[in-house]
Amino acid sequence: MKTLLSLGHGYSAAALARRLIPQGWRVIGTTRSAAKAQRLRAEGVEPLIWPGADIGPALAQATHLLTSVAPDATDDPVLRALAPQLAAARHLEWVGYLSTTGVYGDHQGGWVDEATPLTPGTERGVARVRAEAGWQALGLPLHIFRLAGIYGPGRGPFEKVRDGSARRIIKPGQVFSRIHVEDIGAVLEASITRPNPGAVYNVCDDDPAPPEDVLAHAATLLGLPPPPEIPWDQARMTPMALSFYAESKRVRNDRIKNELGVRLTYPDYRSGLAAVLATEG
């Protein structure tokens, strides 16, 4: 039986599990929360409370491994806890690491691809570059997926637009790339089907766009006026939001199409938001 051990089983990993479980896969997902463990079980995922439980048996039974765990201020928590065990897991057929396009840093709206030098401009981006290198050093059949901004059911802009809390932050020249969560699942499944150890893939749609355009379109879909505009230098933002606005780039996705044969279900935010609204109601 093919068995996926999903470390830090969350939003993106769940999209992959929804594809694999109907095909007869066994999926073991780690979580820190007993309440989350119950939800995973309801989704057909075998929950494992970790850190806490001994992960050794699950690792020994796994044929495939996916980690969604982000690095902390020190290093990658998975590598910190499990590096020797992982390095010895030579039976693994495929290993996936979910990274971020933040490793490329700021390109002032210019295009980047997988060959672009890694020049992160934020602490989060620097930590991701270190984590990627740490996973590469294990000598496993590693595949790195650099995800753009993730959205989907439960992570769309509609609630904030409806309740009036959404704001269009205007920073001239700012542009982001995005990806619908179901397309993340499709890319991961395609890589498992066509493994290429050492490969790095940008995971994003075809239509990088200013964030204010996305909010305006969400309002249009709801039949509401666009959220008010606020100049970037006057906006109050969380440190996470500030880190996103510190970088502007357009991310190329040719490799997931040419090497993995992926055809995006939601190639732009318009089709993706329409699907999210239809799901959320």
pLDDT at residue 251 greater than cutoff 90: yes
pTM, 2 dp: 0.96
Q: Which DSSP category does 23 fall into?
A: G
The distance of Cα 100 from the centroid of its chain, to the nearest Å, equals: 7
What is the model's pLDDT at position 191? 98
Q: In this predicted model, what pLDDT tens digit does every residue of 29-66 receive, in sequence order?
A: 999 999 999 999 999 999 999 999 999 999 999 999 99
* Longest Cα separation, the chain: 57
Whole-number Å distance between alpha carbons of 261 and 255: 9
Q: Mean per-residue pLDDT for 146-172?
A: 94
| pLDDT > 70 in the chain, percent | 100
pLDDT at residue 281 greater than cutoff 80: no
CATH number of the domain located at residue range(s) 69-280 in this protein:
3.40.50.720
Lowest mean pLDDT among 37-41, 71-75, 105-109, 212-216: 71-75
* CB-side neighbour CA atoms (13 Å) of 26: 12
Whole-number Å distance between alpha carbons of 53 and 256: 36
Whole-number Å distance between alpha carbons of 281 and 270: 16
Q: Mean per-residue pLDDT for 253-277?
A: 98
Q: In this predicted model, what pLDDT tens digit does every residue of 212-226 receive, in sequence order?
A: 999 999 999 999 999
Domain extent listing, the chain: 69-280
Cis status, amide bond into 226, omega within 30 of 0? no
Q: In this predicted model, what pLDDT tens digit does every residue of 115-131 receive, in sequence order?
A: 999 999 989 999 999 99
* CB-side neighbour CA atoms (13 Å) of 144: 19
Query: Structure tokens of 9?
Result: 């089983």
Mean pLDDT of the chain: 96
Residue 243: band (very low, low, confident or very high) from pLDDT cuts 50, 70, 90: confident
| pLDDT > 90 in the chain, percent | 91
Q: In this predicted model, what pLDDT tens digit does every residue of 15-28 receive, in sequence order?
A: 999 999 999 999 99
What is the model's pLDDT at position 269? 97
Whole-number Å distance between alpha carbons of 160 and 163: 5
- Nearest Cα neighbor of 71 from 127, 21, 123 is 127
